[in-house]
Amino acid sequence: MAGQARVILTGAGGGIGLAICTILLEEFGAKVVAIDINVSDALKALKEKHPESLQIVHGDITKPETSLEALKLEPSPTALMLNAGVCELVPIASSTPAHWSKVFNVNVLALLNTLIPAVPALRENKGRVVFTSSSAATKRRGAWASYNASKAAENAIARTFATEEPDITSIAVCPGMADTGMVERIRGKMGASAMKPDDHQFFVDAKKNMINPKDCGYVLANLAINGAHELSGEFFTWDSPQGAPYKRSE
């Protein structure tokens, strides 16, 4: 794609999303429309630093009008980065329809709120869509059913969209266990109350080996700018052979 990249990014307020937003602005010189239900101080600081390149939509991505507002600010995106997500751990036998609705509204249906209205621009720009997925899509750890199922559904959308839209590159990427607020909640009371002790201990012990969001975030950002069309329809981990060429040069 010629010219400056124009990216709509959901879930930009913290964690991997904030890292992606920073990298897009400061390392790739992209224009970004950042969406989040909680506009963090860090995101506000980025706006002050990059007033011409960063626009912020403060809104709920489960509401279609939030994505439509972003598309009014940037009607011709060259990439979507569908990063927003929620993780609520509940064993199936203890779950409720409200729990499943919350997880699927954020992790699955909200993807479509942003993706569908952007299709004409993405077709014209031969753009890219990067889905922040998870290895949970293929896992079976207890209490994770809603999250696992939602990420499997996300992968299904990504690969089906790749088939339906041959001019748009559609990629689902697992960022690994990054050191974010979501993972901190899993390591804390939420995980301890929902998971079996051995499963919870796995996350507690993983703290020392967690991934820096700036490392996996760079790969996701680079894929949104430069991802090869041959990757369309694939799901892979950020440091896999597919992702390795997009890592930051040492």
Spatial CA neighbour of 11 closest among 93, 86, 123: 86
Contacts of 6 (CB under 8 A, 6+ apart): 30, 31, 33, 74, 76, 77, 78, 79
Does residue 218 carry a catalytic annotation? Answer: no
Identify the active-site residue in 31, 47, 67, 133. 133
Q: What is the largest CA-CA distance in the chain?
A: 52
Active site includes 47? Answer: no
CA–CA separation, 130 and 117 (whole Å): 16
Catalytic residue among 31, 47, 146, 147: 147
Which residues are registered as beta bridge partners of 71? Answer: none
10 Å CB burial of residue 60 (0-12, 13-18, 19+) is middle
Query: For residue 137, how many C-alpha atoms fall within 13 Å in the half-sphere facing its CB?
Result: 24
Which residue in 47, 67, 150, 151 is the catalytic one?
Answer: 151
Residue 216 one-letter amino acid: C
Read off the DSSP letter of residue 75.
S
CB contact at 8 A, 136 and 85: no
Task: Provide the β-strand partners of residue 211.
Answer: 178
147 is catalytic: yes
* Residues classed as catalytic: 133, 147, 151
